[in-house]
Structure formats: C-alpha cells, structure tokens
Amino acid sequence: MTIRSGPATPDRAAGHDGLEPCPNRPGGHPPDSPARCPPKRCNRGMSRPPRVPPRAVIAVAAVIGVAMAVHARRHAHPALSVALVGPPSAATPESSPSPAEDALVPPQRRLPRALGLLLTVALIGACSAAALELQGPNWARWTFIGLALAVAACLGIAFMIGPLARRLAGETSPLTPVERRQMSVIERVEAVNAARNTLIQAATGLVVIGGVVFTVQGLRYTAESLKTSRQAQLTAEQGQITDRYTKAVEQLGSSKQDVCLGGIYALQRLAADSPRDRETIRNVLAAYVRGHDTCTPQDRKSKPPKQCTAKTFSALAEIPLTRPGADVLAALTIAPALAAGRSEGIPSSAGDGVTDFSQARFPRTYLRGAYLRSANLSDANLSDANLSDANLSDANLSGANLRGANLSDAYLRGADLVKVNLIGAYLRGADLNDAYLNSAYLSGANLRSANLQGVRGMTEKEIRTVATVDAKTRF
C-alpha cells in the first residue's frame, strides 16, 4: 500500500521543517543547499520571552510574605480575629450550632493553620537561601535578608501573643463559639480594645526589631565603606609618596646644585611623612655624600682639587680651606640626623642608626659644627679638616686619617678611634670620655684641657709620652 502525502507546503518545498535557508551564510551555500542555519538565526520572527526585573520578583515575594504572615497570625489566634470581626449573630436559633458542631470547629481550622505555618517557614527558608546563593547586586541580597527577618519576626510575635500568651494565662485551648456568644457587649468592647492594643504592641515590636536590624546593617555598611575608603586613601598616599620619592631622586642627578639641594630637602620632608621609607632615604643621602665628596670629580674632564693631590702634609697645610657644596653639606647633616631623630622632630629610623660615610674624602675641608653622631667614618680622609665643635660621639673613626685636623671642643664621647691617625691634631677642650684609643697615633697631638676620663686602649702614661697635655687635661 502506498501512502500519499498531502500537498507540499512552502516549508517542505524549501526542504526543511519551518526553517528558512540562509543564502548569506559565510560558507556560501545556495538557497537549495541542504545546509541549514541554526534556529536562533533563521527564526527572526520569534521573540524572546521578556525578562522579569529582579525588583519586581522581590516586591511580589514581599507581598506574599506579608500576606502569609497575616494569614498565619489570624489562624494562630482565632479569638483575636473573632474579637476584631465580632462573634456570629445569635438572633436566630437556627444559626446556633449544636455541641457536636462546636466540637468539629477546631479540627477544621487545624489544616489552614498548619498550611499557613508551613508556607511561612518555607518563605523564610527561600528568602534566606536566595540571600546566600543569589549572585547579584547587594541591595537584592539585603532585601531578601530583610524579608526573611520580617516574616520570622511576624511569626514569632504571632506565637508569643497567641499560643504562648494563652499558655501563660492558664488556657489550654481557645474559646469555643458558645463561650464567645455568651460574651456581653462590654466584654466584646474590652476584647476589641485588648486586640487593638495587642496589634499595636505587635506592630511596635516589629518596627523596633526592623529598626534594630536595619540600624545594625547600616552601621556595618558604614564601617565597610570607611574601611574601603581608608584603604583607597592609603593606596593613593603610597602612590603620591612613590611619585615624590622618584622625583626627588631624579633631582639628585641634576648637574645644578640648587636642583640637587631641593631634592635633598624633598627627601627630608618625605622621611617625615613616610616613616617606612626613612631608612632608604638615609642610605640615599649617605651614598650622595660619598659620591660627591671633595676628591670625587663630577665629570670625566675635571681634575681632583689640589688638597687631594698634595704630596706632603706641609703642602696640604698651605692650601686654603674649602667649603663643601651646599647640597653635600645638607646631605652630610640630614642623613645622621634622620638616624638619631634630630631632623625637625622626626623619630629615629628603625635601622641600626649608622650612616655610612666610610672612605669619604674631605681633606682640608671646613666642617665646623658638623653633626656626625654614630656615623661610620672608617678609613675616611679628614686630614687637616676643620671639625671644631663637631659632634662625633659614638662615631666609627677606625683607620681614619685626621692628621693635623682641628678637633677643638669636639664631642668624641664613646667614639671608636682604633688605629686613627691623630698626629699633630688639635684636640684642645675635646671630650674623649669612654673613647677607644687602641693603637691610635697621637704623636704631637694637642690634648690640653681635653677630657680623657675612661679612655680605653691607652694608659695615661702612654698618652703623656706622645701627646701634649696640661694641668687641665683630665684622665
């Protein structure tokens, strides 16, 4: 038997079921080709289902939750609902139910109560799960949390003013219809007023609970906002500090002295604003001093000054004293001050407190009153330099060349003067208390009125033998 098909429809004539051919397909298939386009591209007449806004879904859920809570509240306390609405009319004897009918009323209301309670609990669980699992904006999550808390509060209030209140009052079961019909007018009015007061208290309690919840959430949100703002502010401050540091270091590489001086003072200010960078800034300034001392030429064409090439000490003494550049003198003063906390009230750095000026060369240089406390000047060349009134306490001068240097009234308490060259040095009135003089060269040194109490490494006899002392010299 041959089964004949019906007349060919336009779809069948096209060779496929309801899908139009795609003549503009990138593959170049003609209209009669068996290749077909996906339905999403060919069915242009079909429109997508509209997307429901999340706020509408949340609003509907909130309305349903409130309705469920009111439903559960009314069925959880039927005496309250009867007091609000009023008892059934007892004008006709036919409307009065029999005792058998009265006994059947409570079981008939158990199912709506249980259903309302179940739906309320389900709504609370659904809102809580949505708040925890929802991947969306924070306002949606907080809305679900607030809805869950509000429904839970309504359920708790209904339980407290319903079964729990009756239990505390000694009633094991609600009033029967017969007992309600026996109430007088005054009792009904009192019941209505009591119901109104109860509802007002319940509403007040719900508002208070909601206010507390939203206040806590608001405070939490404010704390998180402040924390985020503080982190953003710290990040911005660190970025500004980094930019200031980079610009100041670039200024130190300038060939102009005033630009370098500005960079040094910029680093000093930066050390006050950023304690974590204080140690780095101190090391940068110390490296600047070592790279710009008197004997280091600033370019390849220039030659070292005469005091750096003098062959004899007498030739060096004939050369006039030279002053270091303003930039070098500033770095030489600021770096040790950062370590000791003397720079404009800046606390001392967290490092070892030692500024490395080792092997620096400042022969025949004017450094009067320099603050070099705890500085490392080991193997430095300070021959015939003017260091009067300088603070060199606790400084490391081991192996340094101080021949012929002027150290009058200098402060050298606790300084390390091991193997230091003090031949012909002028130390009148200097304070060398507790200084270390192991293997120090003191031939011809002037120690008149100097304080040598507690010196270590040399005895009084050895010092008197090689140096010049007087009656004011203290041992």
Residue at 150 is within a domain: yes
Which residue range is the domain that position 150 belongs to?
Answer: 55-87+107-228
For the chain, how far is it from start to end, CA to CA, in angstroms?
Answer: 138
* pLDDT given for residue 73 in this prediction: 52
Residue at 419 is within a domain: no
Return the closest-CA partner of residue 325 out of 252, 261, 244, 390.
Answer: 261
* pLDDT given for residue 469 in this prediction: 92
* pLDDT given for residue 109 in this prediction: 61
C-alpha–C-alpha distance, residues 282 and 365, integer Å: 23
C-alpha–C-alpha distance, residues 219 and 209, integer Å: 15
* pLDDT given for residue 264 in this prediction: 93
Residue at 245 is within a domain: no
* pLDDT given for residue 199 in this prediction: 67
Which residues is 426 bridged to in the sheet? 406, 446
* pLDDT given for residue 304 in this prediction: 83
Are the beta carbons of 262 and 331 closer than 8 angstroms?
no
Q: Is 215 helix (H, G, I), strand (E, B) or coil?
A: helix
* pLDDT given for residue 447 in this prediction: 93
462: left (phi over 0), alpha (psi -120 to 50) or beta: alpha
* pLDDT given for residue 425 in this prediction: 94
Q: How many CB atoms lie within 10 A of CB 143?
A: 21
Residue at 207 is within a domain: yes
pLDDT tens-digit profile of 157-178?
Answer: 777 766 666 665 556 666 677 7
* pLDDT given for residue 467 in this prediction: 92
C-alpha–C-alpha distance, residues 364 and 366, integer Å: 7
Q: Give the chain's domain count.
A: 1
Residue at 220 is within a domain: yes
Residue at 144 is within a domain: yes
C-alpha–C-alpha distance, residues 462 and 456, integer Å: 12
Longest dimension (CA), the chain: 147
- pLDDT < 50 stretches in the chain: 1-52, 75-105, 344-345, 348-350
Q: Is 441 helix (H, G, I), strand (E, B) or coil?
A: strand
- Alpha-carbon distances, residue 275 vs 249, 335, 351 (angstroms): 17, 14, 11
* pLDDT given for residue 122 in this prediction: 84
Residue at 97 is within a domain: no
Residue at 468 is within a domain: no
* pLDDT given for residue 401 in this prediction: 93
Structure tokens at 408: 């009058």
* pLDDT given for residue 118 in this prediction: 82
* pLDDT given for residue 21 in this prediction: 47
Are the beta carbons of 76 and 156 closer than 8 angstroms?
no
* pLDDT given for residue 220 in this prediction: 84
Structure tokens at 376: 């490392």
C-alpha–C-alpha distance, residues 252 and 260, integer Å: 5
